[in-house]
Amino acid sequence: MSCDDTGTRPVRFEVFTGAGGRREWSDEAKARMVAESHAGLESVSAVARRHGLYPSQLFTWRRDARKAMEAAAPVFVPVIVEPTPNDIVPARPMRRRARHPRGGGMVELEIDGVAVKVGRGADADVIAAVIGALRRAR
């Protein structure tokens, strides 16, 4: 930095003490940074820069946290489901069924003044027995 810039731009200094100069992060601090990176308010790289990390370090912590959650036993939470006004559907009125099927689904037989109406789905053996009984009754 030149002497002309003195006092006009903020400068950040970190002082490392001890051998190696590596920082140790507590599990709570790591968890807080991982949670910030998942919040979606800013990119993972931005969260890492703000905390003085390389993005790759934060991505590693995220991967480790995901693996730890996958290995942990599932946790069940009680759920209460309440319908919202949009979910409530008014009941439809029941439609009355016609007494007799309309149209081509019915056959009407008349033998010696006796009328027999045969509806759709009638058993063929029963129909044959009724016709046979009418013929014998003549």
The gap from C-alpha 105 to its chain's centroid, in whole angstroms, comes to: 45
Domain total for the chain?
2
CB 77 within 8 A of CB 66: no
Structural domain of 69: 23-73
Residues in the chain: 138
Global model pTM greater than 0.75: no
Please give the pLDDT value at position 21. 59
Residue 19 clears pLDDT 90, i.e. is over it: no
State how far the Cα of 134 lies from the Cα of 125, in Å rounded to an integer.
14
- The whole-number average pLDDT for the span 41-63 is 93
In this prediction, residues 107-117 reach a mean pLDDT of 75
pLDDT band, very low/low/confident/very high, at 24 (cuts 50, 70, 90):
confident
Q: What is the average per-residue pLDDT within 43-51?
A: 93
The answer, yes or no, to whether residue 101 has pLDDT greater than 60, is: no
Q: Which residue has the tokens 């920082």?
A: 23
Hey, which residues does 5 pair with through a beta bridge? none
Same domain (yes/no): 68, 110: no
Q: Is residue 50 part of a domain?
A: yes
- In 3D space, the residue among 19, 12, 96 whose CA is nearest the CA of residue 51 turns out to be 12
